[in-house]
C-alpha cells in the first residue's frame, strides 16, 4: 500500500495508540493481529505501537513488557494508577511520533485488519476518520440502545453527525490531536472538539467482534459523566471565546421578564392604587432581576477569563489550513507543489 498524504506528500509514519486496563487474556493475540495488519502496509512505512497500561491490576503489565522485548516497534507507558481511557489516549497522543495516529481498544472487539480502511480515507484528504460499528456484537438493551440514543444526542448538540461516537477505532492526522487537550471522558468527543479547528471528518464501517475474553469496563454509571462532558463540549464549541453571549442572553431574558413584571406591578400600584406588597409576583420580579444581573456578571467574568487564557497560553482563536501568497500566484508550478 502506498501511503500518500495531503498535497501528494507520502506518509511514512504511523502510530497506533492502545489503552490497556486488565486485558491480560487478550494482549498476545491482539498484538499478533495488529503486527500482521501493519506488516501489510509495506516495509517502507515505519510504525510504532504504543500500549498505555492504565493501572492494570492483573498480569497485563508483565505481558506488555514481554511484547516490548520481542517487538522493537512497541512502546509501553505504565500509569501509577487507573486514570481512565481519556488520560491513556492523551498520553499516547503525547508520545506518538507518526504523521497518522490510530486509536483502538485492547479488548479485540476492534479488528486491526480495518486499519487500512481508515488510512485510505486519510489519503483522500480527511483529517479525522471514525470507525462505525455498523453490525455491532453487543446486547441491544443495555449497550446498543443507549449508544444509539447517545450518538443521536451528541450529533444533534455538537452538529457533527456520526453514527458511532463510541467506537475507539479512529484515525487522526497528528497535527490535529496534538492541539487538543483532553480530560474527563472527552476521548469520545474528539471529532466534535476537532471540528472547532475546521477539520474534515469521515466515517467508515468497520467490523465489530464479540468479546472473547475478559470483562467489559463500561457500565451505565458512565452515562451521567458522558452527559456532563457533552454539556462542556457544547459550551467549548459554541461559547468558549464568547461566554458573554451565553450568559448574557440568559441574563437579559431573566432581567427583562423581571422588569416587565415589575413594570406591571408599578402600574397597578400607582395608576390603579392597589396594594402589591403581598403579591408573589413582586418577589418573582425582584428574583428574576437579580438572577439577570448575576448571569450578565458571570458572562463578563467569563470574557475576562477567556481573554486571559488565550493571551497567557498563546492559544490561537483560529487555525489556518494553508496560505496562498502573492509569490505563489507568480509561480504556478511552485504553488502546485
> Is 80 in the same domain as 130?
yes
Tens-place pLDDT, residues 139-168:
777 677 777 888 888 888 888 889 988 899
List alpha helices for the chain, DSSP H: 27-39, 60-70, 85-95, 115-123, 145-158, 174-177, 190-194, 222-239, 244-270, 280-313, 326-330, 332-336
112, 261: one domain? no
Q: What is the pLDDT of residues 43-90, one digit of tens each?
A: 788 899 999 999 999 999 999 999 999 999 999 999 988 888 888 999
Is 307 among the domain residues? yes
Predicted structure pTM score: 0.73
The CATH number covering residue 101 comes to: 3.90.550.10
Q: Indicate if 160 and 198 belong to the same structural domain.
A: yes
Look up the domain containing 249 and give its range: 244-313
Residues 186-233 pLDDT 10s: 888 889 888 877 889 999 999 988 877 766 655 555 666 777 777 777
Q: How far is CA 66 from CA 15, 58, 63, 71, 106, in A?
A: 20, 15, 5, 9, 16
Q: What is the pLDDT of residues 117-147, one digit of tens each?
A: 999 999 899 999 999 988 887 777 767 777 7
State the total domains in the chain.
2
Q: Please check whether residues 173 and 208 belong to one and the same domain.
A: yes
pLDDT digits (tens, 9 = 90+) for 313-332: 665 555 555 544 555 445 54
Instruction: Compute how many other C-beta atoms are within 10 angstroms of the C-beta atom of residue 309.
Output: 12
Residues 6+ apart with CB under 8 A from 243: 298, 299, 302, 303, 305, 306
The model's confidence at residue 26, banded by pLDDT at 50, 70 and 90, is very high
Distance between CA atoms of 123 and 126, rounded to whole angstroms?
7
- Residue 321, domain member (yes or no): no
* Domain match, 156 and 202 both: yes
Dist CA 330 CA 149 (whole Å) = 53
CA–CA gap between residue 251 and residue 264 (Å, rounded): 20
**Residue 281: CB partners within 8 Å, gap ≥ 6?**
261, 264, 265
- Shared domain for 150 and 203, answered yes or no, is yes
80 and 211 both lie in a single domain = yes
One domain for residues 185 and 257: no
Question: Measured over all CA atoms, what is the biggest interatomic distance in the chain, rounded to whole angstroms?
Answer: 91
Residues 89 and 57 grouped into a single domain: yes
Q: Are 174 and 261 within one domain? A: no
CB atoms within 10 A of CB 104: 26
Q: Which of 239, 273, 299 is the last residue of a domain?
A: 239
Question: Do residues 14 and 38 lie in contact, with contact meaning Cβ atoms separated by under 8 Å?
Answer: yes
Amino acid at each position: 500500500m502506498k501511503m500518500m498524504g495531503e498535497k501528494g506528500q507520502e506518509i511514512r509514519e504511523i502510530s497506533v495508540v492502545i489503552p490497556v486496563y486488565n486485558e491480560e487474556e487478550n494482549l498476545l493475540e491482539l498484538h499478533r493481529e495488529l503486527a500482521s495488519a501493519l506488516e501489510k502496509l509495506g516495509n517502507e512505512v515505519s510504525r510504532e505501537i504504543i500500549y498505555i497500561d492504565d493501572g492494570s491490576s492483573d498480569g497485563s503489565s508483565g505481558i506488555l513488557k514481554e511484547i516490548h522485548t520481542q517487538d522493537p516497534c512497541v512502546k509501553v507507558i505504565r500509569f501509577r494508577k487507573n486514570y481512565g481511557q481519556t488520560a491513556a489516549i492523551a498520553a499516547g497522543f503525547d508520545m506518538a511520533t507518526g504523521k497518522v495516529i490510530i486509536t483502538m481498544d485492547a479488548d479485540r472487539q476492534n479488528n486491526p485488519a480495518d486499519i487500512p480502511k481508515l488510512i485510505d480515507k486519510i489519503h483522500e484528504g480527511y483529517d479525522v476518520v471514525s470507525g462505525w460499528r455498523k453490525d455491532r456484537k453487543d446486547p441491544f438493551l443495555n449497550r446498543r440502545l443507549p449508544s444509539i440514543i447517545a450518538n443521536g444526542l451528541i450529533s444533534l448538540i455538537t452538529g457533527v453527525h456520526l453514527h458511532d461516537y463510541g467506537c475507539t477505532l479512529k484515525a487522526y492526522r497528528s497535527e490535529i490531536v496534538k492541539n487538543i487537550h483532553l480530560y474527563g471522558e472527552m476521548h469520545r468527543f474528539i471529532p466534535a472538539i476537532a471540528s472547532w479547528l475546521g477539520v474534515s471528518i469521515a466515517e467508515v464501517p468497520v467490523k465489530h467482534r464479540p468479546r472473547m475474553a475478559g470483562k467489559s469496563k463500561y457500565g451505565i454509571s458512565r452515562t451521567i459523566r458522558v452527559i456532563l462532558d457533552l454539556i462542556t463540549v457544547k459550551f467549548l464549541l459554541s461559547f468558549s471565546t464568547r461566554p458573554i453571549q451565553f450568559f448574557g442572553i440568559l441574563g437579559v431574558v431573566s432581567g427583562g421578564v423581571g422588569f416587565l413584571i415589575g413594570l406591571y406591578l408599578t402600574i397597578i400600584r400607582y395608576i390603579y392604587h392597589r396594594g402589591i406588597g403581598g403579591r408573589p409576583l413582586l418577589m418573582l420580579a425582584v428574583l428574576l432581576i437579580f438572577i439577570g444581573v448575576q448571569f450578565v456578571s458571570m458572562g463578563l467574568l467569563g470574557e475576562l477569563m477567556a481573554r486571559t487564557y488565550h493571551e497567557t497560553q498563546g492559544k490561537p482563536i483560529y487555525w489556518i489550513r494553508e496560505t496562498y501568497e502573492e509569490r505563489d500566484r507568480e509561480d504556478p508550478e511552485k504553488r502546485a507543489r
